[in-house]
Amino acid sequence: MAIDLSNYDAKAKEAVKAFWGNREQARNKQIESGKADQGERAGVTTGKNMDGFIALVKDIVHANGLEHADIHLERRVLTLPGYFRPTKLWDLLVMNEGRLIAALEFKSQVGPSFGNNFNNRTEEAIGTAHDLWTGYREG
């Protein structure tokens, strides 16, 4: 069975537009309030920049046999235990019939400190993968 990408091309384009539009709205809102953060941070503090990508993932999940899956986005239910740390906060959890199907974290990189951000994101991804596989191996 092929994976239904749920009109991925068009939705990904919209998600990218929303990403940049949300950043700009956040920056303008801070400037108007007189409390603007420095540099690129002004565009990222609202927590809405990745919403278009979250919507795309939701559509793909529902289009591929999990139309009744519960997709959790509320902060109060996004924490899962880890092996090396007691908790890990995710951006989106997919649950189906009481089972965890997916735990996703969304990240973006924009700005002049690409090298530092790349290193940080790489360390996070490796650490999360190591934590997951150690927990799986140890039961």
Q: What pLDDT digit, counting tens, does each position of 85-131 carry?
A: 889 999 999 999 999 999 999 988 887 777 788 888 899 999 999 99
- pLDDT, residue 109, reads 81
What is the distance between the alpha carbons of residues 62 and 56, in angstroms, rounded to a whole number?
10
| Cβ-count burial 98-134 (b if 16+ within 10 Å, e if not) | eeeeebbeeeeeeeeeeeebeeeeeeeeeeeeebeee
Other CB atoms within 10 Å distance of the CB of residue 1: 5
- pLDDT, residue 37, reads 57
pLDDT at 62 over 50: yes
- pLDDT, residue 25, reads 84
- pLDDT, residue 42, reads 47
**Which tens digits make up the pLDDT trace of 4-49?**
888 889 999 999 999 999 888 888 887 787 775 555 554 455 567 8
